[in-house]
Amino acid sequence: MAEKNQFDYTEESIKSLDWREHIRLRPGMYIGKLGDGSSPDDGIYVLIKEVIDNCIDEHTMGYGRHVDITIDGKTVTVRDYGRGIPLGKVVEVVSKINTGAKYDSKAFQKSVGLNGVGTKAVNALSNYFKVTAYRDGREKTAEFERGLLTKEYREAKTDQENGTEVTFIPDETVFRNFHYINEHLEGQIWNYCYLNAGLVINFNGKRYVSKNGLLDLLVRETDEEQIRYPIIHLKGEDIEVAITHENQYGEEYYSFVNGQYTTQGGTHLVAFREAFVKTIREFYNKKDYDVADIRASICAAISVRVQEPVFESQTKTKLGSQVVYENGPSMRNFIGDFLAKDLNDYLHKNPATAEALKKRIEQSERERKELAGIKKLANERAKKANLHNKKLRDCRYHYNDEAAGKDKNNILEKQKESTLFITEGDSASGSITKARNVETQAVFSLRGKPLNCFGLTKKIVYENEEFNLLQHALNIEEGYEGLRYNNIIIATDADVDGMHIRLLMMTFYLQFFPDLVKNKHVYILETPLFRVRNKQETIYCYDEAEKQAAIKKLGNKPEITRFKGLGEISPDEFGRFIGPDMRLQPVMMMPDTHIQQLLEYYMGKNTQQRQDFIIENLRVEVDLVNDVA
Please name each of the domains of the chain with its CATH number: 20-208 (3.30.565.10), 215-367 (3.30.230.10), 385-527+566-593 (3.40.50.670), 530-562 (no CATH)
Mean pLDDT in residue range 72-92: 93
pLDDT band at 565 (very low <50, low <70, confident <90, very high): confident
Lowest-confidence range among 25-39, 386-400, 504-518?
386-400
pTM: 0.74
CB 520 within 8 Å of CB 585? no
Residue 130: the pLDDT is 96
Mean pLDDT in residue range 587-612: 72
CB 437 within 8 Å of CB 492? no
Q: Is the pLDDT of residue 500 over 60?
A: yes
The set of residues, in sequence order, having a beta carbon less than 8 Å from that of 325 and lying 6+ positions away, is 306, 307, 331, 334
- State how far the Cα of 115 lies from the Cα of 100, in Å rounded to an integer: 8
> To the nearest whole percent, how much of the chain has pLDDT over 90?
36
> To the nearest whole percent, how much of the chain has pLDDT over 70?
83
- State how far the Cα of 96 lies from the Cα of 118, in Å rounded to an integer: 11
Give the three-class secondary structure for 234: strand
pLDDT band at 410 (very low <50, low <70, confident <90, very high): low
Residue 362: the pLDDT is 94
pLDDT band at 106 (very low <50, low <70, confident <90, very high): very low
> Helices 595-603 and 496-512 meet at what angle, rounded to 10?
150
Residue 328: the pLDDT is 59
pLDDT band at 415 (very low <50, low <70, confident <90, very high): confident
Cα dihedral sign, 418-419-420-425:
negative
Residue 405: the pLDDT is 43
Mean pLDDT in residue range 302-320: 70
Q: To 10 degrees, the CA torsion angle through 495, 501, 503, 507?
A: 180
Residue 400: the pLDDT is 46
Among 449, 555, 554, which residue's Cα sits nearest to residue 507? Answer: 449
CB 367 within 8 Å of CB 248? no
Please, what is the average pLDDT of the chain? 82
Q: Is the pLDDT of residue 465 over 90?
A: no
Residue 31: the pLDDT is 79
Residue 166: the pLDDT is 96
The alpha-helical segments, DSSP class H, found in 285-425 are 291-295, 331-338, 344-349, 351-384, 387-390, 408-417
Mean pLDDT in residue range 164-171: 95
Secondary structure of 272-310 as H, E, C letters: HHHHHHHHHHHHHCCCCCCHHHHHCCEEEEEEECCECCC
Mean pLDDT in residue range 58-78: 93
pLDDT band at 60 (very low <50, low <70, confident <90, very high): confident
CB 256 within 8 Å of CB 627? no
Q: Outline where DSSP puts E strands in 425-545.
A: 441-446, 487-491, 522-526, 530-533, 538-541
CB 186 within 8 Å of CB 591? yes
Residue 309: the pLDDT is 67
Mean pLDDT in residue range 559-584: 83
Mean pLDDT in residue range 175-182: 88
pLDDT band at 580 (very low <50, low <70, confident <90, very high): confident
Query: Cβ of 519: how many Cβ atoms within 10 Å?
Result: 17
Q: Is the pLDDT of residue 346 over 90?
A: yes
Mean pLDDT in residue range 516-521: 85
Residue 177: the pLDDT is 82
More confident residue, 70 or 368: 70
Residue 591: the pLDDT is 57
pLDDT band at 628 (very low <50, low <70, confident <90, very high): very low
Mean pLDDT in residue range 148-171: 94
Mean pLDDT in residue range 294-315: 80
Q: Is the pLDDT of residue 486 over 60?
A: yes
Q: Is the pLDDT of residue 150 over 50?
A: yes
More confident residue, 233 or 397: 233
Q: Is the pLDDT of residue 222 over 90?
A: no
Residue 401: the pLDDT is 46
Q: Is the pLDDT of residue 399 over 60?
A: no
pLDDT band at 314 (very low <50, low <70, confident <90, very high): low
- State how far the Cα of 121 lies from the Cα of 123, in Å rounded to an integer: 5
C-alpha of 442 from chain center: 21
Q: Is the pLDDT of residue 300 over 50?
A: yes
pLDDT band at 108 (very low <50, low <70, confident <90, very high): very low
Q: Outline where DSSP puts E strands in 392-493.
A: 392-393, 419-424, 441-446, 487-491
More confident residue, 382 or 490: 490
Q: Is the pLDDT of residue 572 over 70?
A: yes
More confident residue, 486 or 611: 486
